[in-house]
Amino acid sequence: MAKELLRLDLLLLQKGLATSRNKAQALISTGKVRVEGNIIDKAGHRFSADTQIELAEPLHPYVSRGGLKLAHALEYFSIDVHGLVCMDVGASTGGFTDCLLQKGASKVYAVDVGYGQLDWRLRNDKRVVPIERTNIRYLPLDALDSQIYLATIDT
């Protein structure tokens, strides 16, 4: 009996190497996936479930690449956010929010004009206060129940 062949993007999901099909496809199309030592850049290529698959480079630890940028800035400027209440202006999926939390922030207000973009894990974290459909210019200060000690924004 022939082994069932699965699309590479689905195999990445199955093996826990990607958290969504879109992320799997992004990893593949950017040449970050090796199948038995060879870089494969087409998500539709099919392989058996027991095929050796690895990432050519480690995944970044945040929900988006924005977290990497902020982590570098915090390190470069020697900023310690441990225990601070912070604000992420233009939070989108929450890369900065995720970084702030992982670096020890006690609370992060995630402000964005959009809706439903914040990563589900962050949305459900009790330290995150999503403020959606809100332009920071019009956010009344009394909408916040804590003083902000650090605000971040990615331009």
Query: CATH number of the domain that 33 lies in?
Result: 3.10.290.10
Q: Are residues 76 and 149 in the same domain?
A: yes
Lookup: tokens for 13: 């999901």
How much is the pLDDT for 57? 77
Evaluate if residue 58 carries a pLDDT over 80. Answer: no
Mean pLDDT of 34-47: 95
Q: Are residues 119 and 147 in the same domain?
A: yes
Q: Is residue 61 part of a domain?
A: no
Give the residue numbers spanning the domain of 51: 5-55
Longest dimension (CA), the chain: 67
Count the domains in the chain.
2
Find the CATH number of the domain harbouring 104: 3.40.50.150
Q: Are residues 71 and 19 in the same domain?
A: no
Q: Are residues 33 and 102 in the same domain?
A: no
Are 85 and 145 in contact by the 8 Å Cβ rule? The answer is no
Q: Are residues 78 and 148 in the same domain?
A: yes
Q: Are residues 73 and 133 in the same domain?
A: yes
Give residue-wise pLDDT tens across range 87-141: 999 999 999 999 999 999 999 999 999 999 999 999 999 999 999 999 999 999 8
Q: Is residue 125 part of a domain?
A: yes
Please state the pTM of the whole predicted model.
Answer: 0.69
Distance of alpha carbon 64 from alpha carbon 23, whole angstroms:
10
Q: What's the chain's average pLDDT?
A: 93
